[in-house]
Structures are given as C-alpha cells and as structure tokens.
Structure 1
Amino acid sequence: MYELKDRELIFVFTGPDGSGRKTVADSVGATLGLKKVLSYATRDPRPGEVDGQDYHFISMDLYEQMESQNEFLESVTINNNKYGLREYDIEHSFANNGCIYLIMNRDGAEILKQTYGDHVIRLFIYADRATVEKRQRDLGLSEEVIANHLSHYDYDIAYQSECEHAFENYDLAHTVFEISNTLEGYLDRNLVEKD
C-alpha cells in the first residue's frame, strides 16, 4: 500500500445524494488548485455527468476483472452498481500534487479513513430532505433513482457526526468560501492577505 508523506492529504467530500457535494467539491478544488481523483463506476452516466470528469464509467466485466487483480483500494456496491477507487490513481496523483480530493459516499469515505487515518479529512456536505429531493428532480433524475437515493438519506445524514467538518449547502458561493477557508488551514501555504 502507498505510504502517504507528512503533507499529503486526501480531502473527501461526502454527504447525501442531492446535497451538492460534487458541485461544491469541484468548485473548492478549482479555487485551491487541488487534483481530483475519480472513482470507477459500473452504472450509466446520469444527466449532466461526463465520463472522465465525474467517474470512469466502465462495464461490469471490466470492473470485475480489475477487482480480481486487486486494483481497487476500496470497492462498494450500491443499488447493484459497483464503485471503486484504484490505489494506482491515488499514488500517481500524489506524485504530482501534495493534496488531492475525492467525492465519495459514506462507505467509501469510511474505508479511506480506515486506510489512511489522519491523512483523510472528511467534509460532510448536506441539505434537508426536501431540498435534496428538489435538486434531483431539477437534474432530471428518474423517480426510481430519486426514491432510491431518498431511501438511504437518513443513513447518509447520520455520517455527519463522524466527519471532521460539516457544511450546510444552500448557498453555493458561501459554502465554497467557507470550505476553502477551512482547507487553507490544512494546506498551510502561508498566504499573506493584502488590503
């Protein structure tokens, strides 16, 4: 397993589906110049998702072949779809960057925390049930997918207390600003404020 160095950190954005964790994570990543590491998924892309930008969308056959070769650091099954993170991708990202970020559900976030300990900082992004439901409808997700997501909303929201930081996400600009300021403390780049 790849041994992380002192200043290498993994910021994991987690929270219920529809919380806006992906939008927040990508905005914070762009603001702070962090490298995103993508997971692999066996499901079809949802409306607005792009292969190689949101996930690496692959066939179940290819996923199982990679899994049999022990390529995945973590692998979870959700609603009959598999999601996994390759250890190589993390190691390769750290070769060029001091800190990286990922977007994961609570199961993946927990596995990563158990694997890398204090090098993993979990950022829990959340909104109330009605808001996440509306956001998913606005995205054009099917009623079946929305119902599936809402069926584990309580399970997902309960993970908040185990994460290092939690942020309500109702105003994107405010949330991104708040998280970026929090992460600057970890990055310790000795930035000087100018009037």
Structure 2
Amino acid sequence: MLVRLYEKRAASQIFIFTGPDGSGRKSVAEAVGQTFGMEKIVSFVTRPPRPGEVNGQDYCFISHETYRTMERQGEFLESVEIDGQHYGIRSLDVESKLSQHDCAYVILNREGASILKKIYGEKVVRLFLYVDRRTAEERQFNLGLANEVIAKHLSHYDEEMAYRSVCEHAFENYDLGQTTFEITNTLEQYLQRGLVDKD
C-alpha cells in the first residue's frame, strides 16, 4: 500500500496558472480543470471577496488574525504578502490532492508559483497567461473592481510579465475557447488522457 501511494504521488503533477491580473487565468484554469476533471487547490486570503467570487471556491476568505494564527501553526506551504493582503496555500490541501489524484491545479501569482516550483520541482508545471496592459485593465474594470484596486494590480504588471520567461509554457489569452484548447493539448502531453483528437 505504501509503495502504491508513493508511485501515485511520484506521478502526480501540479499545474499552476499564473500571469498578471486581468490575464484571464481564473476562467481558463476552471475551463481546463473541468475538461480534465482536475482537483483545484484553493488558496487562503485576507482580502475581501471581489464581485462574483465565492468563498471556498475561488478562495477561502479569512481574517488577518486567523491567517496569522494558521501561519504561526505552520499550516501554510507558501505564504506571500501583496499590497497588504496575505495569500497562502495549506500544506494539508496540497498533500491530500496529490495523494488522491494524479493531478491538481492552482491559480497563483509569480511569488507563489516560484515557491511551489522550488518545493516540488518537476512535479510543477507553470502555465503563464497574458494579455496587453490595456486589455488587462479593461477586463478588471468590466469585473467591477475599484479604480484603486486596478491601479495596484497594474503596478505589478511588468514584474508579472517578466516571469513569463521562466515558466514552462506561455499562452496569449484573448479568446477563452482557443486558449483552453491550446492548454488542453499541452496538458494532454503530460496526462495522456486521450482527450485530444489527433486525426
């Protein structure tokens, strides 16, 4: 039983969807995740929910006090602070997904992606999504985000874009269907699910 568990975990992979805010990483990640039946690793965050976000599905929204308590107890595998808000992934959530499934996905910024890559090495495949700055701004505006929030996100745009060069794969995302198709083809090479028609 221990050997089987180890073999399954050895073959498990974490697909990280990353890129600037407004790149559409969430929409693409959910579409690809649904296609492959992948489990999502949900991050914990101290910021309030944005329009349309669901607690426990998009993020686990918690208070700063609760976050600090969890951090002191060593629950987080990775923890970063961005614009005064804390984001983290629990070790327990990652390990449980990898022990029960051959793959899982998570949506992270470059800091979080780098931490997981350092910890899990070749098990981690980073999928970088991007659009031009103006499109990223328009998408966030259309989501109903406050101007000051959008401005903060855009202040990180160039830093996030620079991360593209070190990711395993990068995709320009102006069309959800096309990008989902391209990433599905890419992930099929890793997962061998027979979902892509090669004829």
Contact 1:4 1:119 in 2 (8 A): no
Q: Which amino acid aligns with 1:77?
A: E
Q: Which residue of 2 aligns with 1:70?
A: 74
Q: 2:30 aligns with which of 17, 26, 32?
A: 26
Q: 1:187 aligns with which of 164, 185, 191?
A: 191
Q: Which residue of 2 aligns with 1:164?
A: 168
Identity of aligned residues (%): 60
| Secondary structure in 2 matching 1:48 | coil
| Secondary structure in 2 matching 1:5 | helix
Q: Give the superposition deviation at 1:93.
A: 1.2
Take 1:174 and 1:80, find their aligned partners in 2: how far apart are those partners? 35
Q: 1:41 aligns with which of 39, 45, 61?
A: 45
Contact 1:43 1:57 in 2 (8 A): yes
Take 2:106 and 2:196, find their aligned partners in 1: how far apart are those partners? 28
Assess, with a 3 A threshold, how the Cα gap between structure 1 residues 9 and 194 changes in structure 2: closer, same or farther.
Answer: closer
Hey, which bits of structure 1, 4+ residues long, moved more than 6 A? none
| Secondary structure in 2 matching 1:178 | helix
Structure 2: state its 5+ residue gaps.
1-5
Take 1:22 and 1:152, find their aligned partners in 2: how far apart are those partners? 18
Q: 2:102 aligns with which of 92, 98, 104?
A: 98
Assess, with a 3 A threshold, how the Cα gap between structure 1 residues 190 and 70 changes in structure 2: closer, same or farther.
Answer: same
Assess, with a 3 A threshold, how the Cα gap between structure 1 residues 119 and 173 changes in structure 2: closer, same or farther.
Answer: same
Contact 1:76 1:84 in 2 (8 A): yes
Instruction: Give yes or no for the alignment of 1:140 onto 2:149.
Output: no
Contact 1:18 1:135 in 2 (8 A): yes
Q: Give the superposition deviation at 1:6.
A: 2.5
RMSD: 1.7
Contact 2:78 2:112 in 1 (8 A): yes
What TM-score, normalized by structure 2, do the two folds share?
A: 0.93
Q: Which amino acid aligns with 1:161?
A: S
What TM-score, normalized by structure 1, do the two folds share?
A: 0.95
Instruction: Give yes or no for the alignment of 1:7 onto 2:11.
Output: yes
Contact 2:42 2:60 in 1 (8 A): yes
Take 2:198 and 2:155, find their aligned partners in 1: how far apart are those partners? 48
Q: Give the superposition deviation at 1:28.
A: 0.3
Q: Give the superposition deviation at 1:190.
A: 4.9
Q: What are the superposed Cα offsets for residues 77-132 of structure 1, whole Å, 9 maximum, x if unpaired?
A: 00100000001001111232110000000000000000000100000000000000
Q: What are the superposed Cα offsets for residues 136-190 of structure 1, whole Å, 9 maximum, x if unpaired?
A: 0000100000000000100000000000000000000000000011001000235
